[in-house]
């Protein structure tokens, strides 16, 4: 056996195999990336304010929360699931943080930890409903979505919590080295970790096997249920992290925060080339998807398009991107 495997290790891949695309690499996100560049060019021509470092940083600030949530959503969608609860879980985590801090004078650092733990617990509940109770992910996370939103409102009877210490709001407002706020830096770090994990680690590659076919994955010895549970838990944890980032940006905790985030996150992941059937997608694509949504909002605002019309445009972009992707896949 060892000789045989040794042989494999020492063999370089024949050069004919070069053009092989690794599914999670940028290779899969080339189409969306072209779209993002075209979008940038278009808005630069349409608005004199669009193409500037200042505006680019604005876009990054605006997409931090969506970016963090979308990382978790990518993993969930790659394993063939869906998480509709992200927005509500974010709000619940955020309210727990503010409520502990204001009503019980818990130190803010501990409140941050609590927010992340609450997110993780919510994710774990979704994961258990999916893996143990065998609910369809859509139904399980729909239920958690409703419950989490209700809890977010109950904590303060629907009131927002205002006034965090300065150091906390500075996390998202002070730009170190003139461009990098800590929240944006956090997104970048999370993206790199998640991207590397999903592309170059066995644990991450297993997500693609599970999404491709959970039965194949199980027979190949992958602990499908455990991994799926961890994916939902991880998505919840990231919602908690996103809640902290959003609280810092808003300098408040609001029970209505994160409304509709699940749709933006799903849109970003899908624009980035993921398939809701699972097994396809990646962090690189999701980043491009998030930037497309961020750029669209920002550019359309600059051009003076009303928020209502923006919703229509986002919808059209999602349908267009996925149609394009599906047609491309069929021709391959």
Partner 1 sequence: MSKTAQATTSPVVNPVEPSGPGLSVRGISKEFFGVAVLHDIDLDVRPGEVVALLGENGAGKSTLSSIIAGLIQPTRGSMRWQGKAYAPQSPSDALEAGIGLIHQELRLLPDLSIAENVFVGRLPMRNGRVDRHLMNRLAARQLARLGLDIPPTQRLRTLQVAAQQQVEIAKALTLNSKLLILDEPTAALGGAETDRLFSQITKLRAEGYSFIYISHRLEEIARIADRIAVLRDGALVSAHDTAQLPEKQLVEEMVGRSVDRIFPEIAPPQEREVLTVRNVTSPTGAFRDVSFSVHAGEIVGIAGIVGAGRTELVRAITGADPLASGAVLLDGVPLRLRGPRDAIDAGMVMVPENRKQQGLIVQHSLADNMAFGNFDLMQSGSWVLPGRVRAFTAQAIRRMGIKGTPGQKIASLSGGNQQKVVIAKWVSRNPKVFILDEPTRGIDVGARAAIYTVIAELARTGMAVVVVSSDLEEVLGLSHRVLVLSRGQQRGLLDRRDASHVAVMELATS
Return residues touching partner 1 (CB under 8 A): 1, 4-5, 7-9, 11-14, 16-17, 19-23, 25, 200-202, 205-206, 208-209, 212-213, 215-223, 279-280, 332
Cβ–Cβ under 8 Å, residues 85 and 145? yes
Q: Closest separation between CB of residue 81 and partner 1, Å?
A: 16
User: Half-sphere exposure (CA, 13 Å, Cβ side) for 93?
Assistant: 35
- Which residue, chain included where needed, has tokens 């990382």? 71
| Cβ distance to partner 1 smaller for residue 214 or 295 | 214
Q: Closest separation between CB of residue 21 and partner 1, Å?
A: 6
Q: CA angle, corner 309, sides to 306 and 312, nearest 5?
A: 155
Q: Closest separation between CB of residue 217 and partner 1, Å?
A: 7
Cβ–Cβ under 8 Å, residues 93 and 119? yes
Structural tokens at position 148: 């989490």
Whole-number Å distance between alpha carbons of 324 and 8: 39
| Cβ distance to partner 1 smaller for residue 277 or 323 | 277
| Cβ distance to partner 1 smaller for residue 4 or 54 | 4
Whole-number Å distance between alpha carbons of 105 and 99: 9
| Cβ distance to partner 1 smaller for residue 1 or 53 | 1
Q: What does the DSSP assignment read for 121-151?
A: HHHHHHHHHHHTS---HHHHHHHHHHHHHHH
Q: Closest separation between CB of residue 278 and partner 1, Å?
A: 10
Q: Closest separation between CB of residue 187 and partner 1, Å?
A: 23
Q: Closest separation between CB of residue 176 and partner 1, Å?
A: 31
Listed in sequence order, the residues at least 6 apart from 264 whose beta carbon sits closer than 8 Å to its beta carbon are 66, 70, 293
| Cβ distance to partner 1 smaller for residue 223 or 315 | 223
- Which residue, chain included where needed, has tokens 């818990």? 106
Q: Closest separation between CB of residue 16 and partner 1, Å?
A: 7
Q: Closest separation between CB of residue 88 and partner 1, Å?
A: 32
Rg, the chain, Cα only: 21
| Cβ distance to partner 1 smaller for residue 12 or 53 | 12
| Cβ distance to partner 1 smaller for residue 19 or 54 | 19
Whole-number Å distance between alpha carbons of 112 and 80: 30
DSSP category for residue 38:
H
> What is the helix (H) or strand (E) element at residue 253, kind and residue range?
strand 252-253
| Cβ distance to partner 1 smaller for residue 11 or 104 | 11
Cβ–Cβ under 8 Å, residues 9 and 254? no
Whole-number Å distance between alpha carbons of 119 and 257: 14
| Cβ distance to partner 1 smaller for residue 159 or 205 | 205
Structural tokens at position 205: 């590659």
Q: Closest separation between CB of residue 132 and partner 1, Å?
A: 15
């Amino acid at each position: 056996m060892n000789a045989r495997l040794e042989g494999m290790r020492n063999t370089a891949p024949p050069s004919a195999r070069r053009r092989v695309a690794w599914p999670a690499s940028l290779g899969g996100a080339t189409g969306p990336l072209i779209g993002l560049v075209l979008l940038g060019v278009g808005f630069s021509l349409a608005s004199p304010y669009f193409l500037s470092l200042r505006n680019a940083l604005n876009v990054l600030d605006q997409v931090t929360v969506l970016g963090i949530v979308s990382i978790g959503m990518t993993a969930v969608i790659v394993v063939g699931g869906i998480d509709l609860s992200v927005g509500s879980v974010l709000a619940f985590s955020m309210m727990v943080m503010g409520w502990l801090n204001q009503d019980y004078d818990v130190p803010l650092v501990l409140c941050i930890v609590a927010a992340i733990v609450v997110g993780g617990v919510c994710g774990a509940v979704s994961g258990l409903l999916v893996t143990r109770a065998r609910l369809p992910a859509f139904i399980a996370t729909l239920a958690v979505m409703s419950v989490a939103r209700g809890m977010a409102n109950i904590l303060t009877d629907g009131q927002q919590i205002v006034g965090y210490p300065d150091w906390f709001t500075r996390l998202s407002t002070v730009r170190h080295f003139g461009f990098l706020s800590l929240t944006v830096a956090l997104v970048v770090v999370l993206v790199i970790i998640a991207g590397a994990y999903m592309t170059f680690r066995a644990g991450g590659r297993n997500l693609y096997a599970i999404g491709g076919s959970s039965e194949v994955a199980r027979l190949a010895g992958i602990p499908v249920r455990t991994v799926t549970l961890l994916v939902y838990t991880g998505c919840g944890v990231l919602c908690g992290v996103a809640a902290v980032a959003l609280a810092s940006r808003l300098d408040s905790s609001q029970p209505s925060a994160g409304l509709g985030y699940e749709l933006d996150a799903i849109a970003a992941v899908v624009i980035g080339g993921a398939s809701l059937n699972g097994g396809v997608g990646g962090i690189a694509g999701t980043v491009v998807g998030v930037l497309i949504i961020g750029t669209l909002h920002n550019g359309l605002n600059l051009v003076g398009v009303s928020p209502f019309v923006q919703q229509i445009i986002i919808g059209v972009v999602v349908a267009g991107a996925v149609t394009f992707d599906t047609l491309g896949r069929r021709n391959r």
